[in-house]
Chain A
Amino acid sequence: MTPFRHDDRSGPFTHAPTSVRDTMRLVMLALVPATLFDAALFGWPAIDLFTVTILSCLAVEAGCLWTQGKPVLTTLGDGSAMLTGWLLAMSLPPWAPWWIGVLGAVFAIALAKHLFGGLGQNVFNPAMVARVALLVSFPVPMTAFVPPKPLFTEVAPGFLDSLSITFGHAFQLDGMSAASALGMVKTELSRGIPASQSIETTPDLVHMLVGIRPGSFGETSVILILLGGLWLLHKKVISWRIPVTLMGTLFVLGTLFHGINPEHFTSGLFQVVSGATFLGAFFIATDYVTSPVSRSGQLAYGVGVGGFTWIIRSFAGYPEGMAFAVLLMNALTPLIDRAFRPRTFGRTRSGAPLPQPPRTMP
């Protein structure tokens, strides 16, 4: 008997200190600043919903794993369900009722993830499937945004009040709701008020960048999301390709059409800083499982998400198009992966061996 392990395993016999768990943790860590900011901005009801959504995701994941006979605790420990819950919560109106979070968890984890085969097998981004399914099914609570009501200020509900908002019926839509900037422009356009005019009533650039504006829980602070995104770039968890092409496309299309018709189209800058653009570009569209794996494919994908987002925002019935755009491009990801392959060493792009270069004989 040999004292050490011997089998016919191929190398390498060393491994980078990487794991799925670490990756998920890094992404969640990157979300912390933006999350804390919006938790403070929207107060206890937002924190309640955030907690409910994540716990529901973990519970649904555990249930799905258990019914399939897969290991429950180790898989829960990889953090993927928690991250899905986190991202879902960040895409919900902060004062939405508890059942939105619970239903969202079922859509995201059971429907979008486990029905497709679990981690790594899903075609569509689970958080976005849930958001879109909720938005289509329950348009009223899913578009009921609140103006900022920072924690510990007079306008903010206390913890006990928050419980009745999240779990009861205390949230009265008429009295408290506010429109997101994108929503406002869309509504006004439909009433015949040009975008160039309605844009005046949206929060100014500084408020948009800092994040003091109505919006989904977690999407408001451009600066803090950018901070998290840059950190992920630095840590090489994500690459620049999808965020840059996505926002670039949105900016270029926005600027171009704003130049042509400012009455109908908002500016490229407004397109980029409003809505879920930053959150989507850095944290949603970059989801590993549902985005292309090759570099060129990622560029194409980013352009696609940016393009579809702009089209939906500008022409469709919904004010925000990021989630739809992501899902549309998710569906195209297998095709993109097939069409955009890296060039193989020693071969041309079409796969034929490189031609032998002419040689000058010495």
Chain B
Amino acid sequence: MKRDNNAPTREETEKAFTDELIVVSDLHKSFGDLHILKGISTTVRQGEKVVIIGPSGSGKSTFLRCLNLLERPTSGSIKLDGVDLLGFNEKGVNFMRQSMGMVFQHFNLFPHLTIRKNITLAPVKLGILSEEEANSRADDLLEKVGLYDKCDAYPGQLSGGQKQRIAIARALAMNPEVMLFDEPTSALDPEMVGEVLELMKQLAEAGMTMIVVTHEMGFAKEVASRVMFMDDGQILEEAPPDKFFSDPKNDRTKLFLSKVLV
């Protein structure tokens, strides 16, 4: 067969697609009879900041948790760097998770360890860094999140905002390719939301790929490269923030926005 000269070679095709970090197709998740995710398909590119919004119970957190397999999807596929995660065994899953940092609504810091130990535990126990290397990385990260003076404190001695900044530092210590944020400011007192969002902004500016589930519309407008609206287990609308907020297409999106943007 004669080869068409204009067609890209396989290498070229792959190269063109390498900036596709996460490719999700037709993802379903059920808890028993409860069908939470009803066919999610989307692609997250390298460096993209995707902000997922939607009413509670719409499946946004479940979707996020499916991405690093904290919840096992019922069907569909998730590809990270072209590799299907659902084909991994347990070891593979653990290894994959090293490249996906996650920040939780309730911080989930380890209360029995100092702040520094919270950050160094995973890299040291996984044999990625030596104790000394991990400590110096922890110090750098603590400097970055502005909490170096707390390095020997315990999580119980910190405010909510400080805890969340430490949780972000802890995730960053693994040098992840992508950061997942599951409502990182929802459990915070209002006056502490700012410091966490500010840190997330810095992270975004530094080029980190981020997927953020949040109710902070201001953050979505300012930082997102794409806003995703989810309801009833489906993505109803995806658009860059300026388009999304000024000219929503879907009726339910309009209704939702009319309620949250007062």
Partners in one complex: no
Interfacial residues, chain A to chain B (CB-CB below 8 A) = none
